[in-house]
């Protein structure tokens, strides 16, 4: 780019230099800013630097001037503070539904929101060792199509698959596409799910699909099925499910050891009502989906957790325990 063209962009280049190279621990003097401008082929001087800094401050860039021997100019605050960026980087790195390559790209973009020195700290964030990442590189586009359909009140078309022992995809329904009304996207057990409405099933009209197992997702022109959207609460729906496993909804009464209060709050939330049974135990009544995953959640606590009712759920637990005992009977 010719020198004269660069000259017109002098304030913009100054903003870039300050954002990329300075923070509260790294400052640049007016003379160093002049030299940095010269590296871009821009003629500048101290007076021009002062004027441009004032203009950038009026524009809203938080530039401070530290006085003293080791003083200089630096960007004092940004849209995202370093601890916030570290939190976002950790979330991206640990998220299983984001492919490894996309994780790297996202973290690279997040790093640009910090100074160069701060970006090095982001790269040193702890990676979740051995964390399996999805192999479905189209997950970004699936999420976009789902959001589009939800916002515009349309159905979606998609294929759904599982993996076989050869690590290859086995499409359900022999690859015949599903046509569903998407309701919401939900994060559960470190996985991303789409909740979809399916008319004609009064007992459980909603189904869950793992987004990373969906392929060829397309928003259709067909309008979404009508249902009581105001009466559907995504958070309440997710709390009833364990592993997003569908089943008959029941009201379960549980007796639990008081050491499990934290585990109950972690899953069902802080608004749940707990009643003291005796000095060691408490009871709680929860709406859950009757499923093997819920039973497994109870089993993990051993004698510290007991299903009191309904009888159907107690019977399901007895059968599950008996089946497991048969496996290990030899």
- Specify the pTM: 0.61
pLDDT at 73 over 90: yes
The closest alpha carbon to 24, from 79, 80, 69, 63, belongs to 63
More confident residue, 188 or 319: 319
Which tokens sit at 255? 């007796």
More confident residue, 157 or 264: 157
Cβ(285)–Cβ(251) under 8 Å? Answer: yes
CATH number among 3.30.70, 1.10.3470, 1.10.3230, 2.40.30, domain 249-327: 3.30.70
Percent helix / strand / coil, the chain, rounded to 5 = 45, 25, 30
> Average pLDDT over the chain, rounded to whole?
86
CA distance 307 to 309: 6
pLDDT, tens digit, 9 for 90 and up, residues 10-39: 999 999 999 999 999 999 999 999 999 999
For every residue of 245-275, DSSP letters joined together read B---EEEEEEEEEGGGHHHHHHHH-TT--EE
Alpha carbons within 13 angstroms on the beta-carbon side of residue 316 total 21
The closest alpha carbon to 219, from 137, 176, 173, 158, belongs to 158
Sequence ranges of the chain with CATH classification 3.30.70 = 249-327
pLDDT at 168 over 90: no
The pLDDT of 212-228, averaged and rounded, is 92
pLDDT, tens digit, 9 for 90 and up, residues 52-72: 999 999 999 999 999 988 899
Give residue 177's pLDDT.
Answer: 96
Give residue 94's pLDDT.
Answer: 75
Give residue 5's pLDDT.
Answer: 65
Sequence ranges of the chain with CATH classification 1.10.10.10 = 3-75
The closest alpha carbon to 307, from 326, 288, 322, belongs to 288
CATH number of 3-75: 1.10.10.10
pLDDT, tens digit, 9 for 90 and up, residues 94-148: 777 777 788 888 888 999 999 998 888 887 544 444 455 666 668 888 988 999 9
pLDDT, tens digit, 9 for 90 and up, residues 226-253: 987 777 787 777 766 655 556 677 889 9
Which tokens sit at 57? 């401050």
Give residue 125's pLDDT.
Answer: 47
């Amino acid at each position: 780019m010719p020198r004269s063209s660069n000259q017109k962009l002098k304030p913009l280049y100054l903003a870039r230099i300050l954002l990329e190279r300075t923070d509260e621990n790294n400052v640049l003097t007016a003379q160093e800013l002049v030299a940095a401008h010269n590296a871009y082929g821009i003629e500048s001087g101290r007076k021009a630097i002062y004027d441009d800094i004032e203009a950038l401050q009026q524009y809203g860039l938080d530039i401070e001037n530290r006085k003293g021997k080791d003083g200089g100019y630096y960007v004092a605050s940004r849209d995202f503070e370093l601890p916030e960026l570290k939190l976002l980087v950790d979330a991206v790195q640990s998220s299983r539904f984001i492919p490894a390559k996309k994780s790297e790209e996202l973290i690279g973009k997040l790093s640009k929101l910090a100074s160069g020195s701060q970006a090095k700290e982001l790269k040193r964030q702890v990676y979740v060792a051995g964390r399996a990442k999805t192999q479905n590189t189209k997950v970004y586009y699936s999420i976009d199509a789902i959001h589009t359909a939800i916002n515009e009140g349309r159905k979606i078309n998609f294929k759904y698959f599982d993996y076989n022992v050869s690590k290859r995809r086995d499409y359900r329904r022999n690859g015949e596409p599903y046509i569903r009304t998407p309701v919401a996207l939900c994060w559960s057990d470190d996985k991303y799910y789409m909740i979809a409405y399916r008319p004609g099933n009064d007992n459980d009209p909603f189904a869950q699909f793992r987004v990373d197992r969906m392929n060829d997702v397309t928003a259709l022109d067909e309008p979404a099925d009508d249902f009581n959207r105001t009466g559907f609460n995504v958070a309440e729906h997710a709390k009833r499910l364990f592993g997003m496993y569908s089943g008959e909804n029941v009201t379960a009464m549980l007796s639990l050891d008081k050491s499990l209060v934290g585990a109950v709050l972690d899953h069902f939330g802080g608004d749940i009502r707990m009643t003291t049974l005796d000095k060691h135990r408490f009871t709680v009544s929860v709406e859950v989906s009757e499923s093997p995953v819920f039973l497994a959640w109870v089993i993990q606590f051993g004698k510290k957790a007991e299903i009191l009712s309904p009888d159907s759920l107690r019977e399901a637990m007895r059968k599950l325990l008996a089946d497991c005992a048969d496996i290990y009977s030899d």
